[in-house]
Amino acid sequence: MSMTDGPTPLSSAKAAQSAANREGLSTAPGASIAGRKGKKPGSLGQRWNALSRQQQWSFLIIVVVLAYLLPVINPPILTTEPGNNFGLACFDMARFALIAVGLNVVIGYAGLLDLGYVAFFAVGAYVSAMLTSPDSAFLKIPYLWTIPVAMAVTMFFGVLLGIPTLRLRGDYLAIVTLGFGEIVRILATIIPAMKGQVGFQSVGHPPGTAADGNPIFTNSNGVPWYWLILTIIIIVLLLVGNLERSRVGRAWVAIREDEDAAEIMGVPTFKYKVWAFAIGASIGGLSGALFSGQVGFISNQRFDVYTSILFVAAVVLGGAGNKVGAIVGGALVSYIPLRFTAIAEYKYLIFGILLVLIMIFRSQGLFPARQKLLAYGRDAVNWMLKRDDGGTGAGTNRTAGTAQEKGAQA
Amino acid sequence: MLSSLLTSMPMDNDWISFDVVALGQNFWSATFDGLTFGSIYALVALGYTLVYGVLNLINFAHSEVFIIGCYAVFFTLSGLGFGPNAPHLSLASIVLNLLLALIIAMIASALTAFLVERVAYKPLRKRNAPRLVFLITAIGVSFTIQYIIRLIRGPNAEPAVTMFKPTPIFDVFGTIVDSQQLVIVVAAVIMMIATERFISKSRTGRGIRAVAQDPDTATLMGVNKERIIIITFVIGGILAGAAALFYVMKIPSGVQYTGGFVLGIKAFAAAVLGGIGNVRGALLGGLLLGLIGNYGQILLGNSQWTDVVAFVVLVLVLLVRPEGILGTSLGRSKA
């Protein structure tokens, strides 16, 4: 079957960018540099990799600081006001970004299609709500403690769902997760303890009071929540980034690229698929818990399967397998309907069409995934390049080496 | 902390109770109703199975192919002047109206399936895109069609249309079998048998099986793969159109933009249960799932449990026998 043996999910064979990346992997470094230089000088990724480590870090710090200041600056063109409060909009964007980072682990790294991600999000939100809201009969614990509990519970559900389905080919997972997304909503309606449409009022929030004695974290003010979730995103990104570069990450990419080959090479594919699924689920639960705290009210109306497809659209739009892409994709999917309120009503339609168009015309998304994952990063690439050229012409080689690093940087 | 969490859990187990008495009392009516729903699942499941057999793709958009058929039935019948209350008509005019609605629904569904294949899947196939891209496209198409319908017809269900009142035909074990149940089950089974015959006997059917087995070799042997793929989609569409008519007959007020989605999951579960890619498996799986869902619903006392039961069945089947009851291959079915 021709469609089953395509080697690289989510990347078009035509796409010059990823083709160049792969070329770099398969051929000798020297040869690919020549090809690379001729093809696409000065693409975004290359320019980024041409910077030194210090420049990259200082640039990142500026970006992070700007991200923290975003709701305070409230830039006039970007702002979603007067239609939507910008602080809340920022929180929503960050929430989608966190979800996309989590879903990206499942779809982007391991190549598993999870169409019921909203279910994990819902489980996290419900755990947080049921353990803090006065409406529930459960034990009450402080809000911040519900976050790890929510992550653990969703991870458990992820494993529970993953074990029967992940032994099989990926497409069964798609339909099972799609069903699971719907089932969680139905169960929330049927089970009295989950209170159906009535839901849970006044979900807890983190402690702390401002100077005037009012609590810092309120439902109407998105800014503290935004800062909280942004901090969490940074932590999650660091953790996920490390995973990506570890043995686990390499196993994921191997599974994504060719499961049979990975299995033959001794990668325990089932184990790592369950890992990816569980980690993705727990990040979904984390964002659910944060959402539940910020909104303060949880009922079964908030988690339909259609939201799941928006999540998939966020990952795919940004570029599956790319952390930056996931964040940008998630933020965009949330931002566009909030900013352009006239089209907000049609957001599902727009993102549905967009999903199909991206798949047909640019399946690698806005930020293509880097194909190469070298465990030791750019140092290894530099070392290889030096060896290749026999140590001569180190001056010219330095620039060539930095261009090559694009692929090595995961 | 965990132990105190457990002890504080509300210990009312009211939300789930097994009403065996109710099941005993309604066993036969649940069976006949279950077979009716099962026939509808089976017809839709066949569309999933055929496409999966040939392309190895879960065609998520198939549920929308089905719902378009439902809308076609709705428009045809309301155009003919049917409303929520069944008029008194002669048998001949009922049959004529039914056939007209059936044909229009089949055309609408087949056309949708054809368009989806051409617009969404063909460009991907041409590019030799990986599996995940196909799946995401499929779900995107499904989503898009649902929201196009919503945009045009609004979020609410269409008003009910009924053609005839189910009249009791005969008694089995003290339970009445009505004309509607009989028509649906018999017609569905006839269509399934016809499809089975077509695939196992006709020249085109042999082509379908050849492509399912090995597309490259089939092409070398002179089978036009593109044509076979189109035919597969169209057959699936025709059967979905028939299912749509029966669905509207059974649930007159079920025509809604989300209507296909849940039924689609159940139909897919039916296909997996019987063995995906297997034509007879789709029939068996559909009927079984209809029965299990209906028994479960009565046993648990809430109609929403049907979906949960179907889902649990799907997961259990995947856990215990992922190739389904009858095995999975369309290509290997006997010539």
Judged by CB atoms closer than 8 Å, whether chains meet at A182 and B133 is answered as no
Rounded-to-integer distance, Cα A370 and Cα B218, Å = 36
From B43, B34, B49, select the one nearest B191 (Cα to Cα). B43
As a three-state string, the secondary structure of B30-55 is HHHHHHHHHHHHHHHHHHHHHHHHHH
CATH of residue B106's domain is 1.10.3470
Rounded-to-integer distance, Cα B106 and Cα B108, Å = 5
The DSSP H or E segment spanning B169 is strand B168-172
Distances, alpha carbon A234 to alpha carbons A97, A208, A327, A335, B310, in Å? 11, 22, 11, 20, 40
- A360 to chain B: which residues are within 8 Å by CB? 120, 123-124, 137
Same domain for A387 and A318: no
Report residue A351's pLDDT band, with 50, 70 and 90 as the boundaries: confident
Comparing alpha-carbon positions, the chain B residue that sits nearest to A106 is: B132
Report residue A288's pLDDT band, with 50, 70 and 90 as the boundaries: very high
In a domain, A12, yes or no: yes
Cβ atoms of A387 and A376 closer than 8 Å = no
Give me the residues paired with residue A215 across strands.
A209
pLDDT at B326: 79
Write out pLDDT tens, residues B173-188: 777 778 788 888 899 9
- Give the pLDDT mean for B65-74: 92
pTM score = 0.80
The number of domains in chain A is 2
Judged by CB atoms closer than 8 Å, whether chains meet at A141 and B1 is answered as yes
pLDDT at A372: 53
Cβ atoms of A158 and A120 closer than 8 Å = yes
In a domain, B257, yes or no: yes
In a domain, B79, yes or no: yes
Judged by CB atoms closer than 8 Å, whether chains meet at B215 and A2 is answered as yes
Same domain for A173 and A83: yes
Q: Which tokens hold the place of B147?
A: 């929201």
- Give the pLDDT mean for B60-64: 90
Report residue A303's pLDDT band, with 50, 70 and 90 as the boundaries: confident
Distances, alpha carbon A357 to alpha carbons B114, B130, B133, B138, B310, in Å? 18, 16, 11, 12, 33
Average pLDDT, chain A: 77
Q: Which tokens hold the place of A3?
A: 């469609």
Alpha helices (H) in A206-341, listed in sequence order? 222-245, 247-257, 259-264, 269-295, 305-318, 323-339
Of the listed ranges B97-111, B121-135, B163-177, the one predicted with least confidence: B163-177
Write out pLDDT tens, residues B226-252: 899 999 999 999 999 999 999 988 887
% of chain B at pLDDT higher than 70: 90
In a domain, A408, yes or no: yes
In a domain, B192, yes or no: no
- A140 against B210, higher pLDDT: B210
In a domain, A394, yes or no: yes
Judged by CB atoms closer than 8 Å, whether chains meet at A183 and B307 is answered as yes
Same domain for A98 and A26: no
Judged by CB atoms closer than 8 Å, whether chains meet at A164 and B319 is answered as yes
Interface check for B13 against chain A (CB to CB < 8 A): the answer is: no
Instruction: Give B209 to chain A, closest Cα distance, Å.
Output: 13
Same domain for A14 and A132: no
Which DSSP state fits B177? E
- A181 to chain B: which residues are within 8 Å by CB? none
What is the CB-side half-sphere exposure of residue A77 using CA atoms within 13 A?
Answer: 0
Rounded-to-integer distance, Cα A39 and Cα A365, Å = 20
Judged by CB atoms closer than 8 Å, whether chains meet at B147 and A138 is answered as no
Which DSSP state fits B168? E
Rounded-to-integer distance, Cα B14 and Cα A321, Å = 45
Judged by CB atoms closer than 8 Å, whether chains meet at B143 and A306 is answered as yes
Instruction: Report whether pLDDT(A38) > 60.
Output: no
Instruction: Give A27 to chain B, closest Cα distance, Å.
Output: 23
Q: Label residues A180-197 b or e (16+ Cβ within 10 Å = b).
A: bbbbbbbbbbbeeebbee
**Dihedral sign computed on CA atoms, order A200, A205, A207, A210:** negative
Write out pLDDT tens, residues A311-328: 988 888 888 888 888 999
Cβ atoms of A205 and A131 closer than 8 Å = no
pLDDT at B239: 93
Rounded-to-integer distance, Cα B295 and Cα B27, Å = 8
Q: Which tokens hold the place of B81?
A: 């002047």
Instruction: Report whether pLDDT(B167) > 90.
Output: no
Report residue B72's pLDDT band, with 50, 70 and 90 as the boundaries: very high
pLDDT at A3: 42
Cβ atoms of A372 and A24 closer than 8 Å = yes
In a domain, A61, yes or no: no
**Which residues, including other chains, have CB under 8 Å from residue A244's CB and lie 6 or more apart?**
A109, A252, A323, A373, A410
pLDDT at B237: 93
Judged by CB atoms closer than 8 Å, whether chains meet at B132 and A113 is answered as yes
- B126 to chain A: which residues are within 8 Å by CB? none
Number of helices (H), then strands (E), in chain A: 17, 0
pLDDT at B325: 79
What is the length of chain A? 410
Residues 225-254 of B with CB under 8 A from A: none
- Give the pLDDT mean for B275-289: 87
pLDDT at B112: 93
Q: Which domain range does residue A39 map to?
A: 7-50+374-410
What is the phi-psi region of residue A74: left when phi exceeds 0, alpha when psi lies from -120 to 50, beta otherwise? left
Rounded-to-integer distance, Cα A155 and Cα A308, Å = 18
pLDDT at A279: 93
- B58 to chain A: which residues are within 8 Å by CB? 171, 174-175
Same domain for A348 and A379: no
- A172 to chain B: which residues are within 8 Å by CB? 272, 318, 322
ipTM above 0.85, yes or no: no
- Give the pLDDT mean for A134-162: 86
Q: Label residues A103-138 b or e (16+ Cβ within 10 Å = b).
A: bbbbbbbbbbbbbbbbbbbbbbbbbbbbbbbebbeb
Report residue B328's pLDDT band, with 50, 70 and 90 as the boundaries: low
Cβ atoms of A276 and A262 closer than 8 Å = no
pLDDT at A370: 66
Instruction: Report whether pLDDT(B101) > 80.
Output: yes
Judged by CB atoms closer than 8 Å, whether chains meet at A3 and B269 is answered as no
Phi, psi of A8 (to 5 degrees): -125, 100
pLDDT at A397: 42
Name which of A12, A14, A349 is nearest B144 (Cβ-Cβ).
A349
Same domain for A251 and A296: yes
Q: Which domain range does residue B156 map to?
A: 19-164+199-320
The Cα angle at residue A395 between residues A394 and A398, in degrees rounded to 5: 80
pLDDT at A236: 93
Other beta carbons within 10 angstroms of residue B203's beta carbon come to 7
Distances, alpha carbon B80 to alpha carbons B133, B238, B264, in Å? 43, 22, 28
Same domain for A389 and A248: no
In a domain, B294, yes or no: yes
CATH of residue A165's domain is 1.10.3470
Same domain for A133 and A102: yes
- A122 against A209, higher pLDDT: A122
- A187 to chain B: which residues are within 8 Å by CB? 308
Same domain for A94 and A11: no
Same domain for A107 and A38: no
% of chain A at pLDDT higher than 70: 78
Alpha helices (H) in B275-326, listed in sequence order? 279-300, 305-320
- B57 to chain A: which residues are within 8 Å by CB? 3, 171
Chain centroid to CA B198: how far?
A: 19
Judged by CB atoms closer than 8 Å, whether chains meet at A174 and B272 is answered as no
In a domain, B171, yes or no: no
Other beta carbons within 10 angstroms of residue A11's beta carbon come to 27
Report residue B332's pLDDT band, with 50, 70 and 90 as the boundaries: low
Instruction: Give B178 to chain A, closest Cα distance, Å.
Output: 31
Report residue B190's pLDDT band, with 50, 70 and 90 as the boundaries: very high
Sort A163 into a burial class: Cβ within 10 Å, 0-12 / 13-18 / 19+: middle
In a domain, B252, yes or no: yes
pLDDT at A407: 43
In a domain, B185, yes or no: no
In a domain, A256, yes or no: yes
Helix, strand, or coil (residue B21): helix
Report residue A59's pLDDT band, with 50, 70 and 90 as the boundaries: confident
Residue type, A285: G
pLDDT at B14: 55
Give one DSSP letter per residue of A331-356, joined into a string: HHHHHHHHH-GGGGGGHHHHHHHHHH
Give me the residues paired with residue A298 across strands.
A200
**Which residues, including other chains, have CB under 8 Å from residue A158's CB and lie 6 or more apart?**
A120, A277, A278, A280, A281, A282
The number of domains in chain B is 1
Alpha helices (H) in chain B, listed in sequence order? 2-7, 20-25, 27-55, 62-79, 91-116, 122-126, 131-153, 179-201, 203-213, 215-220, 225-250, 259-274, 279-300, 305-320
Name which of B5, B148, B262 is nearest A139 (Cβ-Cβ).
B5
What is the CB-side half-sphere exposure of residue B26 using CA atoms within 13 A?
Answer: 17
Report residue B16's pLDDT band, with 50, 70 and 90 as the boundaries: low
Instruction: Report whether pLDDT(A30) > 90.
Output: no
**Which residues, including other chains, have CB under 8 Å from residue B186's CB and lie 6 or more apart?**
none
Residues 118-137 of B with CB under 8 A from A: 120, 123-125, 127-137
pLDDT at A42: 54
Write out pLDDT tens, residues A94-126: 999 999 999 999 998 888 888 889 999 999 998
Distances, alpha carbon B271 to alpha carbons A353, B209, B262, B289, B314, in Å? 28, 17, 14, 9, 10
Average pLDDT, chain B: 82
In a domain, B46, yes or no: yes
pLDDT at A286: 93
Helices B131-153 and B91-116 pack at an angle, to 10 degrees, of: 130
**Dihedral sign computed on CA atoms, order A31, A35, A38, A42:** negative
Q: What is the C-alpha end-to-end distance of chain A, expressed in Å?
A: 31
Instruction: Report whether pLDDT(A17) > 60.
Output: no
Same domain for A246 and A202: yes
Name which of A8, A174, A352 is nearest B135 (Cβ-Cβ).
A174
Rounded-to-integer distance, Cα A365 and Cα A353, Å = 14
Rounded-to-integer distance, Cα B305 and Cα B301, Å = 8
Instruction: Report whether pLDDT(A395) > 60.
Output: no
Report residue A10's pLDDT band, with 50, 70 and 90 as the boundaries: very low
Rounded-to-integer distance, Cα A164 and Cα B306, Å = 21
Interface check for B15 against chain A (CB to CB < 8 A): the answer is: yes
pLDDT at B232: 92
Cβ atoms of A222 and A71 closer than 8 Å = yes
Cβ atoms of B249 and B184 closer than 8 Å = yes
Q: Which tokens hold the place of B230?
A: 């189109």
Instruction: Report whether pLDDT(A243) > 70.
Output: yes
Write out pLDDT tens, residues B21-47: 666 677 777 888 888 999 999 999 999
